């Protein structure tokens, strides 16, 4: 399928007048709402359509006032969405629903960025974690956006993966926006109030995703907490040789040098409340055991709706189209409030 997709016409990063026509399928959800905001602030993107069955017919600006013009939400079929002629299509759908849209668009030019888990294990798709896979993403037509937890875990583990001894364990906590807008125990305030909810404690999709991408097994225990957005992932690992906090910090600094969407804070532990609205990720809390200096801990935080989804998708589109990777991501990151999410 990837061979039948041809590149969108673009003039490269030095042509500020060039604008890409983009569409979103799944614009009602929390991630779709963030994509609308980021597209509105991007100097090279122009929203052509936004698909949402529940909101069909309503002006997009009623839930996304950043969007100007008279575009209304549509309930476009996969064929109708493909016929819109966009140069970039974001699929912000629940898992298992993207393939019809991909098939319908397979003979048309343009970039497809799938934010679901449907193509993260498909080698025909570029895996869209720019800090680790930039060369493959540049010029790609099919991009599988990583999972939110998976992004945090891989950013924390990638600088160390060649020196790991045994299987690292990750304790993860997410805001309930990660459970989507469909009602479930993981986004029910009555269940989450004064509580933390463990779920899927073995074989989580993001556990398999990280192992697949890094080529090293991990263990992952996900939890949901009663805040809206943000992720914190505490990684506990053992290295083959003893280390120090200074050495760990230097390794992370070198690895992410020139990667402005990853901030390294050394021993300082990043807080999940500070991740809300952050377009990138923060890695800190670097700790080495005094009893056994091979045993280390790392904390990674990010906004699950931004670096875990929407801002990463924009970063990927920029790379695919030859733009500056931070195009449209250098403005004030004002996140969408919970009551403006379109839920």
CB 322 within 8 A of CB 12: yes
Mean pLDDT computed over every residue of the chain = 89
According to the 3-state scheme, what is the secondary structure of the chain?
CHHHCCCCCCCCCCCCCCCEEEEEECCCCHHHHHHHHHHHCCCCEEEEEEECCCCCCCEHHHCCCCCCCCCECECCCHHHHHCCCCCEEEECCCCCCCHHHHHHCCCCCCEEEECCCCCCCCCCCEECCHHHHHHHHCCCCEEECCCHHHHHHHHHHHHHHHHECCCCEEEEEEEHHHHCCCCCHHHCHHHHCCCCEECCCCCCHHHHHHHHHHCCCCEEEEEEECCCCCEEEEEEEEECCCCCHHHHHHHHHHHCCCCCCEEECCCCCCCHHHHCCCCCEEEEEEEECCCCCCEEEEEEEECCCCCCCHHHHHHHHHHHCCCCCCCCCCCCCCCCCHHHCCC
Strand partners, 232: 173, 301
Least confident of 34-38, 68-72, 123-127, 261-265: 68-72
Q: Quick one: pLDDT at residue 305?
A: 96
Q: What is the DSSP letter of 87?
A: S
Q: What is the CA radius of gyration of the chain?
A: 20
- Every domain of the chain with CATH number 3.40.50.720 lies at 2-145+309-340
pLDDT of residue 187: 77
Residue 13 pLDDT > 60: no
Residue 290, classified by CB atoms within 10 Å of its CB into exposed (0-12), middle (13-18) or buried (19+), is: exposed
Whether 222 has a pLDDT exceeding 90, the answer reads yes
**Is 82 within 8 Å of 108 (Cβ atoms)?**
yes
Q: Active site residue: 51, 148, 169, 321, which one?
A: 148
Residues 87-113 have a mean pLDDT of 93
Q: What is the CATH number of domain 2-145+309-340?
A: 3.40.50.720
Report which DSSP code applies to 3.
G
Between residues 109 and 129, which one has the greater pLDDT? Answer: 129
- Compute the average pLDDT of residues 318-340: 76
Distances (CA, A) of 2 to 105, 141, 222, 297: 11, 7, 33, 40
| Residue 321 is a catalytic residue | no
Nearest to 262 by CA among 285, 286, 235, 280: 280
pTM tops 0.85, yes or no: yes
137-155 average pLDDT score? 97
Contact criterion met (CB below 8 Å) for 226 and 238: no
pLDDT score recorded for residue 200: 83
Q: Are strands 169-175 and 231-238 parallel, antiparallel or unpaired?
A: antiparallel
> For the chain, where do the domains classified as CATH 3.30.360.10 start and end?
148-302
Residue 7 has pLDDT above 50, yes or no: no
Work out the pLDDT band at 275, boundaries 50, 70, 90: very high
Asked if residue 9 has pLDDT above 60, the reply is: no
Question: What kind of architecture, by CATH, is found in domain 148-302?
Answer: 2-Layer Sandwich (3.30)
- Judge whether residue 247 has pLDDT over 80: yes
């Amino acid at each position: 399928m990837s061979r039948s997709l041809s590149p969108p016409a673009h003039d490269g990063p030095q042509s500020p007048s060039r604008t890409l026509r983009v569409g979103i399928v799944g614009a009602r959800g929390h991630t779709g709402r963030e994509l609308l905001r980021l597209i509105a602030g991007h100097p090279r993107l122009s929203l052509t359509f936004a698909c949402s069955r529940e909101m069909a017919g309503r002006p997009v600006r009623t839930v996304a006032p950043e969007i100007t013009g008279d575009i209304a939400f549509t309930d476009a079929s996969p064929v109708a969405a493909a016929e819109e002629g966009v140069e970039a299509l974001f699929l912000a759908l629940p898992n298992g629903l993207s393939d019809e849209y991909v098939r319908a668009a397979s003979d048309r030019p343009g970039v497809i960025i799938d934010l679901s888990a449907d193509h993260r294990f498909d080698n025909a798709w570029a895996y869209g974690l720019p800090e680790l896979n930039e060369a493959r993403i540049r010029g790609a037509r099919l991009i599988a956006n990583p999972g939110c937890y998976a992004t945090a875990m891989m950013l924390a583990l990638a600088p160390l993966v060649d020196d790991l001894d045994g299987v690292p364990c990750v304790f993860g906590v997410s805001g309930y926006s990660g459970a989507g807008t469909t009602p479930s125990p993981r986004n029910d305030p009555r269940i989450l109030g004064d509580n933390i909810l463990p779920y899927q404690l073995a074989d989580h999709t993001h556990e398999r995703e990280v192992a697949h991408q890094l080529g090293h097994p991990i263990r992952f225990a996900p939890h949901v907490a009663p805040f809206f957005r943000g992720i914190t992932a505490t990684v506990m690992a053992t290295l083959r040789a003893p280390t120090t906090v200074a050495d760990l910090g230097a390794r992370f600094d070198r690895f992410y040098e020139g990667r402005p969407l990853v901030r390294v804070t050394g021993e300082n532990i990043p807080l999940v409340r500070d991740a809300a609205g952050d377009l990138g990720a923060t890695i800190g809390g670097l700790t080495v055991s005094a009893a056994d200096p091979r045993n280390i801990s790392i904390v990674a935080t990010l906004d699950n709706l931004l670096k875990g989804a929407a801002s990463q998708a924009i970063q990927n589109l920029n790379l695919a189209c030859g733009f500056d990777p931070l195009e449209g991501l250098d403005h004030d990151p004002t996140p969408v409030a919970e009551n403006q999410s379109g839920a």
